[in-house]
Amino acid sequence: MGCEYLQSCPFYNEKMDIDSGLGKIYRRSYCQGDKTQCARYMIATELGRESVPADLYPNMHDRAEQILNETK
Ligand code: SF4
């Protein structure tokens, strides 16, 4: 079990620049853990995948919140 975007998510597929240790932790806690806490996942499910900024990391909750509020 895990996030349904695993296959195509740039973050999960290491296409985003992040310290590899930190990336590993995020992949474990969000992608294979609680995806509902992932900032990218929040945007993707609420607004559609095309609305997820290329440089939004799973832990950027404030920014995700802001994007969601702006589009309401
Ligand atoms: S949990 Fe977030 S970062 Fe991980 S695969 Fe899903 S959308 Fe991507």
The answer on pLDDT for 52 being more than 80 is: yes
Residue 12's pLDDT is 97
Residues with CB under 6 A from ligand 1: 3, 5-6, 9, 11-12, 30-31, 35, 38, 40-41, 44, 58
Q: Which residue among 18, 22, 38, 61 has the greatest number of ligand 1 atoms within 8 angstroms of its CB, and so is best to mutate?
A: 38
Total-model pTM: 0.95
Residue 72's pLDDT is 73
Task: State pLDDT tens for residues 11-48.
Answer: 999 999 999 999 999 999 999 999 999 999 999 999 99
| Neighbouring residues of 72: CB distance < 8 A, sequence distance ≥ 6 | none
Lookup: tokens for 2? 């895990």
3-state secondary structure of 68: helix
Number of neighbouring beta carbons within 10 Å of residue 2 = 12
- Minimum-distance ligand 1 atom for the alpha carbon of 27: 4
The answer on pLDDT for 71 being more than 90 is: no
